[in-house]
């Protein structure tokens, strides 16, 4: 049972090292079956070069194992909470890709400086702050999902418009209509993060970079707040 779902999750996970987004056992991808209300996720701590489709673990939305012998990813509760809350996403990716993690560790939104970024979203990429003690609902280690949801609970930032987020001090999570799209978004996020970092090495003034002729054109086309960080 769940052979096709396992294969979808397996193939998406194997894209991460191929795209240079992870090393060793970092990161994880899941794929959901909405009809069966389950998702398939990478097992924890298994190197990609030895991962097999039959190793993929089937979970329910309460992060309980439905089928599988290996321990599910340590990020399973985050994937489960996002699937339970956002019923229109089909896949989730988490990586430790270098430039996205650097922005996450710096605790900064990734500013939109140009067309490459704008082709994917008109918003700065938000960095979701670590939850404060009075905001923690469960145990701290498993608050990652709420860190993401808190970032998007403000309707000005839609998880449809922005299919990616940085978790402060941790790294990127992305999602999409299916697992393959969530992996695509993870690769796009890493490239946007790299370009923004290099742009700031050339010109460190974010306000000036956002005030260029092209961004003024963008503002006229999409509105004043189109590209100023909504952050969270
Ligand atoms: O950063 C973390 C732990 O939160 C994970 O993304 C990463 O190390 C992968 O862990 P898993 O092998 O999926 O348990």
Q: How does pLDDT run across 178-200, given as a tens digit for each residue?
A: 999 999 999 999 999 999 999 99
- How much is the pLDDT for 89? 98
In terms of C-beta density within 10 A (0-12 exposed, 13-18 middle, 19 or more buried), how is residue 205 classed?
Answer: exposed
3-state SS assignment for residue 90: coil
Planar angle of CA 3, 171, 219, nearest 5 degrees: 105
3-state SS assignment for residue 110: strand
- How much is the pLDDT for 228? 53
- How much is the pLDDT for 25? 97
Ligand 1 pocket mutation pick from 49, 75, 144, 145 by most atoms within 8 angstroms of CB = 75
Residues with CB under 6 A from ligand 1: 25-28, 42, 44-45, 73-75, 94
Rounded to the nearest 5°, which phi and psi values hold at 28?
-175, 155
* Catalytic site positions: 119, 228
pLDDT at 102 over 90: yes
Residue-wise pLDDT tens digits, 20-32: 999 999 999 999 9
- How much is the pLDDT for 113? 92
The strand pairing partners of 30, in sequence order, are: 41, 92
Residue-wise pLDDT tens digits, 58-89: 999 999 999 999 999 999 999 999 999 999 99
pLDDT at 229 over 60: no
Under a CB-based contact definition with an 8 Å cutoff, are residues 229 and 123 in contact?
A: yes
Considering only the C-alpha atoms of the chain, give the largest distance between any 2 of them, rounded to a whole number of Å: 57
Say how many Å lie between the CA of residue 43 and the centre of ligand 1. 10
What is 158-219 written as a DSSP string? Answer: -TTT--EEEETTTEEEEEESSHHHHHHHHHHHHHHHHHHHHHHHH---HHHHTTSHHHHHHH
Q: How far is CA 194 from CA 25, 40, 181, in A?
A: 22, 30, 20
Residue-wise pLDDT tens digits, 109-159: 999 999 999 999 988 999 999 988 888 887 777 789 999 999 999 777 899
- How much is the pLDDT for 227? 54
Domains and CATH numbers, the chain: 3-219 (3.40.225.10)
Say how many Å lie between the CA of residue 161 and the centre of ligand 1. 26
Q: How far is CA 214 from CA 120, 163, 200, in A?
A: 16, 24, 17
Q: What would the mean pLDDT of 31-58 be, rounded to a whole number?
A: 98
Least confident window among 104-108, 157-161, 167-171, 198-202? 157-161
Planar angle of CA 37, 42, 47, nearest 5 degrees: 175
Under a CB-based contact definition with an 8 Å cutoff, are residues 170 and 84 in contact?
A: no
- How much is the pLDDT for 157? 85
Of ligand 1's atoms, which has the minimum distance to the CA of residue 75? 4
Token pair, residue 100, equals 């996205």
Say how many Å lie between the CA of residue 201 and the centre of ligand 1. 30
What is the ipTM for the molecules in this complex? Answer: 0.94
| Nearest one of 47, 71, 33, 28 to 178, comparing CA atoms | 33
What is 24-78 written as a DSSP string? Answer: TT--EEEEEETTTTEEEEPBTT--GGG--GGGPEEEETTS-EEE-SSPBPTTHHH
- How much is the pLDDT for 99? 98
């Amino acid at each position: 049972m769940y052979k096709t779902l396992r294969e979808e999750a397996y193939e998406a996970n194997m894209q991460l090292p191929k795209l240079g987004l992870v090393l060793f056992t970092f990161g994880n991808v899941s794929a959901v079956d909405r009809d069966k209300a389950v998702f398939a996720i990478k097992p924890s701590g298994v190197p990609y070069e030895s991962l097999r489709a039959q190793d993929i673990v089937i979970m329910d939305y309460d992060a309980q194992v439905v089928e599988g012998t290996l321990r599910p990813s340590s990020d399973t509760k985050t994937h489960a909470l996002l699937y339970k809350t956002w019923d229109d996403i089909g896949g989730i990716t988490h990586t430790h890709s270098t430039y996205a993690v650097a922005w996450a560790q710096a605790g900064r939104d990734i500013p939109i400086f140009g067309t490459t970024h704008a082709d994917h979203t008109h918003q700065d990429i938000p960095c979701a702050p670590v939850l404060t003690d009075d905001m923690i609902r469960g145990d701290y280690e498993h608050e990652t999902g709420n860190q993401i949801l808190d970032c998007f609970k403000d309707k000005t930032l839609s998880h449809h418009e922005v299919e990616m987020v940085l978790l402060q001090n941790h790294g990127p999570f992305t999602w999409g209509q299916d697992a393959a799209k969530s992996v695509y978004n993870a690769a796009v996020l890493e490239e946007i993060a790299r370009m923004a970092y290099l742009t700031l090495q050339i010109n460190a003034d974010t306000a000036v970079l956002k005030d260029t002729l092209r961004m003024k054109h963008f503002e006229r086309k999409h509105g004043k707040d189109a590209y100023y960080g909504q952050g969270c």
